[in-house]
Each structure stands twice: as structure tokens, then as C-alpha cells.
Amino acid sequence: MKSGLAFLALLGAVTVSRTAAQAPALTVIVQGGVPRVQTTGLLSDGKFVALMRSGFPLRLHYRLEQWRSRSGWFDQYISEAPWDAVARHDPLADDFVLIRTGGIVARYGTPEDLERALELPYRVNLKVRGSGNFYFLCRLEVTTLNDTDVRIAGLPRLTLEARSETFSRREN
């Protein structure tokens, strides 16, 4: 009896830690002044996968903003780069289709394969010009329909935000 309870407690701890470890997250990493945006855990809870299997496409709208850090109250907005991706389930082929900005289409056999594709860091061509201290701010809105339909139907909506470290650039 004690070993059975210990096993259930251990199983519960593993499930809780796995769920906590897979919470959706958005990260902005700057390498050599070039931002890379990475999303993790979007499909881990199964909500969006179930909706895609029910015929609701998943829309991911990203917006990366470049800011100059200033000593005053407000930082200075420089520019932005928006992009989208749409993921949907194809019931005839029983696979998942990912369409990225620019019309790039890829197919994935399982939700796990689709999630791995969504987790690949995305390199954004947003050039830092001038000198000073800069950072990038990224917002991601994940919806299954347009905003009005989501509110009326009570469907899940997820908004994530991430900020890069502040970095310095000196003009040569």
C-alpha cells in the first residue's frame, strides 16, 4: 500500500513539474545585434491541438519592436517587424500544415513535430542603426479565430511578451 501511494505521489510530482516546465514562453535573444525570437510550449497543454483537430486554424501574430533605451522617462521607439504564421490540421491527410509569412508551407505528421517546428528560433532582419543602448520587445498573439469570434465563443487566446537584454552599439 505504501509503495502504491509513493508511486502515485511521484507520478503527481512528475506531472506537475512537466506541466510547469511546458508553460508557453516567448524569448528574444540578440546575437551580434541580430534578434532571434523563440516560442516554446505553445501546444503542450493540448488546447490548441484539439481546436485545430476540430477545424479551427491557429493564427500566430508576432510583432518585434526595436527600442533605444534612454535615461529619461520614456524610451524611443525605432522600428518594428511584424510577421504571421498559421497552423491547421488537414483531416484528409491527418497531418498539420504550417504556413509562414512569405507563403512557406510545411507539413508535420504529429502535434509534437509541429511544436518542434514552432520552437525553432526565428531570425528577424531588423537592423540596429546608430549608436546607443537598444533592446527588442516582441509580442505574440495566438488566436484560433478573429478577436470577436474568440470572445463570443469563449475560445482560448494567448498573448505573450518578451524583452531582450539591453545591448550597446557604437557607430564606426
For the stretch 56-78, pLDDT in tens is 899 999 999 999 998 878 999 99
The beta strand positions in the chain, using DSSP E, are 25-31, 34-40, 58-69, 76-90, 95-100, 104-108, 122-123, 132-143, 158-163, 167-169
Q: Distance between CA atoms of 172 and 31, rounded to whole angstroms?
A: 19
Q: Which long-range contacts (CB under 8 A, 24 or more apart) does 15-23 make?
A: 19/44, 19/45
pTM value? 0.75
Cβ partners under 8 Å of residue 112, min gap 6: none
Q: What is the pLDDT of residue 4?
A: 40
Q: What is the pLDDT of residue 150?
A: 54
CB atoms within 10 A of CB 169: 14
Name the nearest CA neighbour of 170 among 127, 126, 133, 137.
133
Q: What is the pLDDT of residue 41?
A: 93
Which residue positions in the chain have pLDDT lower than 50? 1-21
Q: With beta carbons less than 8 A apart as the criterion, state whether 67 and 74 touch.
A: no
Strand 122-123 and strand 34-40: the pairing is: antiparallel
Q: What is the pLDDT of residue 90?
A: 94
Q: What is the pLDDT of residue 116?
A: 95
Q: What is the pLDDT of residue 2?
A: 45
H/E segment holding residue 47: helix 47-53
Average pLDDT, the chain: 81
Q: Distance between CA atoms of 142 and 160, rounded to whole angstroms?
A: 8
Name the nearest CA neighbour of 81 among 65, 104, 67.
65
